[in-house]
């Protein structure tokens, strides 16, 4: 078991945008997942050398890779996902995902 699977204990729902519109509203498909939340996580440095912080969720492996646009519902609060980074081992097996969210 990889580290993300061990530390991801919080239940969440990953919402993926559906290609269908129902009653004038975009549909979102929900996938149950487990996450680990990291507030003020350092992502690196920008061009000027300033540190870049973000609100990040580490997500345990899912049957289907998530794609943008996406949202994540954790504890009743919905976040818009701005980037998805898959983590894998040297054989290509998915070990989890890093989701950076906006507005946190």
Separation of alpha carbons 39 and 7, rounded Å? 15
Residue 86 contacts residue 94 (beta carbons within 8 Å)? yes
What CATH number does the domain containing 77 carry?
2.40.10
Residue 66 contacts residue 60 (beta carbons within 8 Å)? no
Q: Are strands 94-102 and 51-59 parallel, antiparallel or unpaired?
A: antiparallel
**Domain residues for 17?**
3-102
**pLDDT tens by residue, 29-88:** 899 999 998 887 767 777 787 766 678 899 988 888 899 889 999 988 898 999 999 988
pLDDT on residue 51: 66
DSSP state for residue 46 in the 8-state scheme: -
Overall number of domains in the chain: 1
Banded model confidence at residue 14, pLDDT cuts 50, 70, 90: very high
Instruction: Give the other-Cβ count within 10 Å of 55's Cβ.
Output: 17
Half-sphere exposure of 41 (CA within 13 A, CB side): 16
- Please give the residue that has the higher pLDDT: either 77 or 5: 77
């Amino acid at each position: 078991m990889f580290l993300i699977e061990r530390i991801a204990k919080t239940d969440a729902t990953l919402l993926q945008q559906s290609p269908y519109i129902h009653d004038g509203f975009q549909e979102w498909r929900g996938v149950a997942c487990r996450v680990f939340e990291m507030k003020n996580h350092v992502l690196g440095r920008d061009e000027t050398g300033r540190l870049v912080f973000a609100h990040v969720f580490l997500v345990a492996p899912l049957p289907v890779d998530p794609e943008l646009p996406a949202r994540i519902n954790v504890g009743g609060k919905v976040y818009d996902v701005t980037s998805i980074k898959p983590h894998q081992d040297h054989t290509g097996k998915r070990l989890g995902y890093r989701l950076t969210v906006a507005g946190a």
